[in-house]
């Protein structure tokens, strides 16, 4: 059997996602409806526009999601994102079979808890909404100012601590290095000579 191309290897995808992806719950307020809060779960990866082809490979690997382009801080970037619950279930299945190893796994687990509540329509009632916000408070950087002002009494649930960090496949390491690794040359000039250090 011919092996899969490296960048479509399942462990590579997880390793790369450990370094570059995010799991986010976006919330917005709607003033002209009875139910005033919308909840939008998002899985995404944002890269410089020159790496758009890599995002296209990831999109092909999962078979879902969209890619958009934007200018951020003067730099062109491309964003691969998956936002529908149906498509997110494909993303979730992958990371349950090939789990993340960094503390991003905690965000994934909290993200799954919210998806589960939404699947049960809990986000459509006040108590369920509060549960979701308390979970969101433990994700990433916590609640943004608007949510803190709107829900001042919300208490964050305990954030899981990821401890089982065993690299099971070399392709995870390749993917993680693709995302987070760097190779550089460090020059140190002393009084007598120039010192060169090659660094990974």
End-to-end CA distance of the chain: 34
Position 2 scores a pLDDT of: 39
More confident residue, 136 or 188: 136
CATH number at residue 132: 3.10.28.10
Our count of domains for the chain comes to: 1
Quick one: which H or E segment has residue 105? helix 104-119
Q: What does the block give as tokens for 129?
A: 């909404």
Structure tokens belonging to residue 39:
């909840």
| 39 part of a folded domain | yes
Angle in degrees, CA 102, 20, 100, rounded to 5:
30
Residue 156 lies in a domain: yes
pLDDT in tens, 46-95: 999 999 999 999 999 999 999 999 998 889 999 999 999 999 999 999 99
The mean per-residue pLDDT over the stretch 120-133 comes to 93
pTM metric for this prediction:
0.89
Q: Which domain holds residue 103?
A: 6-199
Convert the pLDDT of each residue in 144-197 to its tens digit.
998 999 999 999 999 999 998 999 999 999 999 999 999 999 888 776 788 888
């Amino acid at each position: 059997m011919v092996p899969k191309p490296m960048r479509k290897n399942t462990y590579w995808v997880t390793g790369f996602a450990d370094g570059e992806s995010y799991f986010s719950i976006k919330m917005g307020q709607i003033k002209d409806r009875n139910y005033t809060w919308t909840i939008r779960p998002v899985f995404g990866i944002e890269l410089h526009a020159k790496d758009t082809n890599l995002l296209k490979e990831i999109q092909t690997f999962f078979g879902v999601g969209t890619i958009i382009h934007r200018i951020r801080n003067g730099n062109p970037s491309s964003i691969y994102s998956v936002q529908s619950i149906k498509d997110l279930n494909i993303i979730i299945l992958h990371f349950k079979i090939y789990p993340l190893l960094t503390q991003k796994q905690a965000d994934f687990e909290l993200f799954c808890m919210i998806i589960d509540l939404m699947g049960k329509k809990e986000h459509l009632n006040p108590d369920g909404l509060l549960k979701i916000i308390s979970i969101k408070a433990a994700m990433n950087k916590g609640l943004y100012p608007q949510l803190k002002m709107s829900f001042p009494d919300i208490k964050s649930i305990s954030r899981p601590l990821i401890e089982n960090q065993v690299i099971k496949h070399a392709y995870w390491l390749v993917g993680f290095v693709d995302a987070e690794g760097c190779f550089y040359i460090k020059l140190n000039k002393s009084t007598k000579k120039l010192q060169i250090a090659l660094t990974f």
